[in-house]
């Protein structure tokens, strides 16, 4: 039996004057004076910077972005050469930052989750090793770790004596060589077909998630079906996808994909550093789940692996996700330390741009805006995921 609430007469809402006064607080005049002073200070600093730049013969503004850059970039996701505009150089640095941050987040998550679960295992030796790993890595500055990894990368043997694993992975002082995916003879029909398959797969995942019926096995089966369908559909359009392995040839290594020493060192440093933080987050999240959940699951006949995957981790994610978001944001920002080991990330390109054009204020504004956009994007995506795993309110009728 539900009881409907009756509307009782009460106080009328305050007017616009009272609401404005409440919003300004107890000292509205003082706050207005502070805001006016801050605006005046910003204006004076901007006017002073503009006058100084004009005195030095530098035109304020962002027109320099279309000018030709007179420097090279050693490593870039997109093609860049001296003479290309500064905006393309900044885009190349941005893509380098996004690349290392994305790979770092993925690898740090995989390693951190594995370490977090291993640290709670009943194996005393394994748990002790994980604890020492976490404590050493967390209490060591990231910059020092990057210096260690770049020194280690430079100390690797030359290509002819490169360390090899299964003849598919080579470690040398010229970088890390890994297998590369090669795509050939792609036509517009191929892209249309791949787009259709991707959209169909996305709609399937969306519908399954909306109905909360997508388990791990069904998700893996759907992914396998997608890969098989793609493998059969590509030859019909004349396209092909293959795997190119690196091969030792003469005094160098040919084929595959080369990860430069700077990129490999930065990626290793970020992965190791933040995997330790994520391991602690995972450990805390798992321990936040009541022990009664374990006991109830064992009564149902589930083994430890099923209990962890089906019972504990889904509940622990409500604790893990918000803290992991902070780790992702820190990883993205700390990738700016790449400038210390010679990796051409966004900060390095912006510094070079500021030094060659004299537009330091504009370059700094671009750097702040780009990092703000990157972190807000990461935060938005993680908040969307967090809302999916968060506890829902209980409605009592």
Q: What is the pLDDT of residues 153-199, one digit of tens each?
A: 888 888 888 887 777 788 888 888 888 777 666 667 777 777 777 77
Of 365, 357, 347, 372, nearest in space to 65 by CA: 357
Name the phi and psi angles at 132, rounded to 5.
Answer: -65, -40
pLDDT digits (tens, 9 = 90+) for 365-387: 889 999 999 889 888 888 887 77
CB 263 within 8 A of CB 282: no
pLDDT greater than 60 at residue 394: no
Nearest of 365, 368, 322, 370 to residue 98 by alpha carbon: 370
Q: How many CB atoms lie under 10 A from the CB of residue 243?
A: 10
DSSP for 231-264 reads: HHHGGGGT-EEEEEPPEEETTEEESSEEE-HHHH
State residue 215's pLDDT score.
Answer: 54
Q: What is the pLDDT of residues 47-57, one digit of tens each?
A: 787 777 677 66
235-290 tens-digit pLDDT: 766 666 767 778 777 777 777 778 888 999 999 999 999 999 999 999 888 888 88
Question: What ranges in the chain are assigned the alpha helix state H?
Answer: 16-24, 28-55, 86-118, 124-138, 142-154, 188-210, 216-233, 261-287, 291-299, 304-306, 313-334, 346-357, 360-389
pLDDT of residue 395: 42
Q: What is the pTM of this model?
A: 0.75
Q: How confident is the model at residue 393 (pLDDT cuts 50, 70, 90)?
A: very low
pLDDT tens per residue, range 14-64: 567 677 667 666 777 777 888 889 999 888 887 787 777 677 666 667 778
**Would you kindly state where each structural domain of the chain is located, as residue ranges?**
84-141+262-389, 182-244
pLDDT band at 150; cut points 50, 70, 90: very high
**What superfamily does domain 84-141+262-389 belong to in CATH?**
MetI-like (1.10.3720.10)
Provide the pLDDT for residue 217: 59
Confidence at residue 240, expressed as pLDDT on a 0 to 100 scale: 67
How many percent of the chain have pLDDT more than 70?
79
pLDDT (average), residues 221-232: 69
Q: What is the mean pLDDT of the chain?
A: 80
Provide the pLDDT for residue 2: 45
């Amino acid at each position: 039996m539900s009881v409907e609430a009756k509307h009782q007469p009460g106080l009328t809402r305050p007017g616009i004057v009272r609401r404005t006064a409440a919003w300004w607080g107890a000292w509205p005049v003082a706050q207005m004076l502070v805001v006016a002073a801050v605006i005046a200070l910003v204006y004076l600093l901007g006017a002073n910077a503009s006058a100084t730049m004009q005195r030095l013969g530098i035109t304020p503004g962002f027109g320099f972005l279309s000018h030709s850059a007179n420097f090279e970039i050693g490593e870039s996701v997109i093609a860049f050469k001296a003479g290309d505009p500064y905006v393309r150089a900044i885009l190349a640095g941005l893509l380098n930052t996004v690349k290392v941050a994305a790979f770092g987040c993925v690898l740090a998550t995989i390693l951190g989750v594995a370490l977090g679960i291993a640290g709670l295992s009943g194996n005393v030796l394994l748990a002790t090793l994980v604890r020492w790993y976490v404590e050493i890595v967390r209490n060591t500055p990231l910059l020092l770790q990057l210096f260690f990894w770049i020194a280690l990368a430079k100390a690797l043997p030359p290509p002819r004596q490169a360390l090899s694993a299964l003849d598919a992975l080579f470690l040398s002082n010229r970088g890390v060589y890994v297998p590369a995916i090669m795509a050939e003879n792609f036509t517009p029909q191929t892209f249309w077909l791949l787009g259709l398959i991707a959209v169909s797969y996305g709609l399937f995942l969306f519908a399954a998630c909306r109905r909360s019926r997508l388990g791990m096995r069904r998700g893996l089966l759907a992914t396998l079906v997608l890969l098989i369908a793609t493998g059969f559909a590509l030859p019909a359009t004349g396209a092909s996808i293959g795997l190119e392995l690196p091969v030792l040839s003469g005094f160098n290594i040919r084929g595959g994909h080369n990860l430069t020493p700077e990129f490999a060192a930065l990626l290793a440093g970020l992965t190791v550093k933040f995997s330790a933080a994520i391991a602690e987050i995972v450990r805390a999240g798992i321990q936040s789940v009541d022990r009664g959940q374990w006991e109830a699951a064992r009564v149902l006949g589930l083994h430890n692996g099923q209990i962890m995957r089906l019972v504990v981790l889904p509940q622990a994610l409500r604790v893990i996700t918000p803290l992991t978001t902070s780790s992702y944001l820190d990883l993205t920002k700390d990738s700016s330390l790449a400038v210390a080991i010679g990796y051409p990330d966004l900060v390095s390109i912006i510094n070079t741009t500021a030094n060659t054009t004299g537009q330091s204020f504009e370059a700094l504004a671009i750097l702040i805006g780009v990092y703000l956009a990157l972190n807000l994007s990461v935060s938005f995506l993680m908040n969307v995921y967090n809302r999916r795993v968060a506890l829902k309110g209980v409605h009592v009728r």
